[in-house]
Chains A and B, each alone.
Chain A
Amino acid sequence: MQSEEGAGSGTRALVVDVVPEDGATIVRVAGDVDAHSTAELDRRLADAADRDADLVVLEVSGVTFIDSTGLRTLVAANTRLADRGGRLVLRRPTATLQRLLEITGLDASFDVD
Chain B
Amino acid sequence: MTDATEPEVTLSLPASHERVRLARLVAAGVAESVGFDLDEIEDLRIAVDELCVVLVDHGRASGLRISYRANGADLEIRGECRYVDDVAESIELPRLTRQILETVVDEHESGVDGDAGWFVVRKARDAAGT
Contacts and interface: CB of A to CB of B under 8 A. Distances in A.
Interface string A72-111: 1000000000000000000000001000100111000000
Interface residues of A, number: 20
B49 A104 contact: no
Contacts of A104: 96, 99-100
A67 interface: yes
Question: For chain B, what secondary structure do more than half of its interface residues adopt (helix, strand, loop), or is it mixed?
Answer: helix
Contact of A72 (B16, B17, B18, B96): B96
Interface string A26-61: 000000101110000000000000000000000000
Interface of A: 6, 8-11, 32, 34-36, 65, 67-69, 71-72, 96, 100, 103-105
Interface residues of B, number: 23
Contacts of A69: 53
B17 A36 contact: yes
Contacts of B103: 103
B21 A9 contact: yes
